[in-house]
Structure 1
Amino acid sequence: MKNGQLPEVRKQARQPARQQIRQLRYAPAPNAAFDVEVLSFERLRHMDPDHHRTHPQRPDFHVLALVRSGAGRHSADFVDHPLKERTVVWIHPGVVHRWTDVDNLEGPLVLFAQGFPPAPGPVAQAAGDVFAPACWQLEEDAWELALRASDHLGHEHAAAVSNPRLASPLLLGHLLSALVLRVLPAGPAEPPAGSTDDQAVFHRYRAAVEERFGRHHHVRDYASALGYGPRTLTRATRAATGLGAKQFLDQRILLEAKRLLAHTDLPVARCAERLGFHDAANFTTFFQRQAGLSPSRWRTGH
């Protein structure tokens, strides 16, 4: 053995491999093939005896959970959240999360596909918010109403599964909308600032960003594709989120960059390529400007 080899081997052995992200697809049970499914923490534990839930996962569907009792922990996009009675958890599609500890939790879990319930309205607006909080607490009076809404949805879902003649996707969609309105952090959503036209423009821009942020990094590209001027996108985005169109786009790219750096072993140059940066140096400059650290230093810290 040559000098210097053993320390290098030891150094590598001390560095644990990053856990790869499990990509989860919406796949309800054959007898429950609706765009919404109602489970429970108890059912989650029963379905996952090997505790895969404690590893990073990325669903392509929504997960809405209400903690009736117990205490535990959950992490979503680099933020650790304590879970206790009256906690609401909402994991949006694409969020990297893990159920760190839910062994003692009880309560419903509602899974639903993207685009369900249908747009438009405050529920669709909340469902499309990629920067929405993952966890929050409800006041006791709002909590009781949320549980009733959840129970109603659960009963209708169970009836639809047991008796297809009673199945009504439209009814399930309405009950899911009622539940979402009851659990939103500030109660039923207020209409966003700006005109109805601005709201429509922002919804189109947000959908386009979600589809293309890994390829297009300039607002003018979206403006051209959507048939608006850059100023129109900026006005609509600021009215809806408080951010300009460019800042909104940059924040979405940054979030995905953090997910790749934290949850994969891809070299920085490959992360840059995944996100549409043709030059790794440009990616490093972008990340440093947005996060205050280089990609390598940020990865080391996470």
Structure 2
Amino acid sequence: MRQLRYSPAVGSSHGVEVMDFAALRRMDTHRRRELPQRPDFHVLAVVASGTGSHEADFHAYGLAEGSVVWIRPGMVHRWSDVEACDGPLVLFRPGSLTGFSAAEAGAPACWQLDRPRLSLALVAADHLGREHDAAASLPGPGSAALLSHLLAALILRVLPDSPAQPDAAPVGDRSTDVFRAYRAAVEEHFAEWHRVTDYARALGYDVRTLTRATRAATGTGAKTFLDQRVLLEAKRLLAHTDLPVTACARRLGFGDAGNFTTFFRRQAGTPPAAWRTAYGTATGRA
């Protein structure tokens, strides 16, 4: 699995870079895009025309006109087939999207826009691309802020509609900030802390507050959210590395392989070794 670090092109020094599928193909003549890769930055792509396919964290997606792909830092993905796809790709660092709501947490890796929304999304992407080019050729003190605001506008334009959760908080409710803090803490400590009480203590909230905020943002409780994050990382390690199960367990903060196996079996419905074998068979890995 290839680890991709954010390395901006010349002139793209503001943490946001705009390119397209054609540029991706020109830059990647050896087609390494078709192998699993794990970026430490965001990739947001909008398919303006053509068809293809993409995989992200063990899910395969067909691409067509109006498809939106959002790869978050740490996701393992590959561009299975984008030879016929055209449209913008936006690469950006996590810090480039400040002040955003928790809505992005519920967005999948791939979804579909109808034609009217696609047209507006392409206008927003074009505006971002023009400002990106202007910032590269003639940077000014407001360049970074402009790019950040236009990036947020593009994401708001393409985010999929999702049914409101029964416990969803109104806009501006503090539970949004609570969830964002919890999500950031989980991302930082999931391999060390496996109990919600650890996060509640560190963040200064009680467990019920974290649970309500997480349920309002994602539809699941705080413990389920945490367990699913640990499980996802376990699947990534089993599928994309040759680490023994015992080493995977240690990396994820389990005291022994038996506890890890019990956790994995309960969450995934199969032991880790069996899951690795099944996945390897499906993808050609032994």
Q: TM-score, normalised by structure 2?
A: 0.92
The whole-number CA distance in structure 2 between the counterparts of 1:246 and 1:46 is: 44
1:185-237 Cα shifts (integer Å, max 9, x gaps): 118x99x8136222221111111000000011011111111111112211221
Uncovered stretches (5+) of structure 1, i.e. residues with no partner:
1-20
Matching of residue 183 in structure 1 with residue 158 in structure 2:
yes
Would you say the 8 A contact 1:74–1:100 is kept in 2?
Answer: yes
The structure 1 segments of at least 4 consecutive aligned residues displaced by more than 6 Å after TM superposition are none
CA RMSD of aligned residues (A): 1.7
Q: TM-score, normalised by structure 1?
A: 0.87
Amino acid of the structure 1 residue aligned with 2:273: S
Matches within 5 A, 1:257-296: 257-296=234-273
Give 1:146's aligned residue: 121
Cα deviation for residue 30 of structure 1 reads 2.8
* Alignment CA distance shift 1:286-1:168 (3 Å): same
Cα deviation for residue 126 of structure 1 reads 3.9
Give 1:87's aligned residue: 67
* Alignment CA distance shift 1:215-1:151 (3 Å): same
Partner of 1:111, secondary structure, is: strand
Would you say the 8 A contact 1:36–1:113 is kept in 2?
Answer: yes
Would you say the 8 A contact 1:160–1:166 is kept in 2?
Answer: no
Matching of residue 116 in structure 1 with residue 96 in structure 2:
yes
1:73-113 Cα shifts (integer Å, max 9, x gaps): 11000011111111111111111000011111111100010
Would you say the 8 A contact 2:48–2:118 is kept in 1?
Answer: no
Matching of residue 74 in structure 1 with residue 54 in structure 2:
yes
Partner of 2:98, secondary structure, is: coil
The whole-number CA distance in structure 2 between the counterparts of 1:166 and 1:198 is: 34
Matches within 5 A, 1:203-222: 203-222=180-199
Uncovered stretches (5+) of structure 2, i.e. residues with no partner:
280-286
Give 2:284's aligned residue: none
Cα deviation for residue 155 of structure 1 reads 1.0
Would you say the 8 A contact 1:159–1:167 is kept in 2?
Answer: no
The whole-number CA distance in structure 1 between the counterparts of 2:59 and 2:210 is: 30
Would you say the 8 A contact 2:107–2:159 is kept in 1?
Answer: no
| Comparing 46-55 and 160-169, the one that deviates more | 160-169
Give 2:283's aligned residue: none
Partner of 2:216, secondary structure, is: helix
* Alignment CA distance shift 1:126-1:28 (3 Å): farther
| Comparing 27-36 and 291-300, the one that deviates more | 27-36
Cα deviation for residue 165 of structure 1 reads 4.3
Matches within 5 A, 1:21-32: 21-32=1-12
Would you say the 8 A contact 2:47–2:68 is kept in 1?
Answer: yes
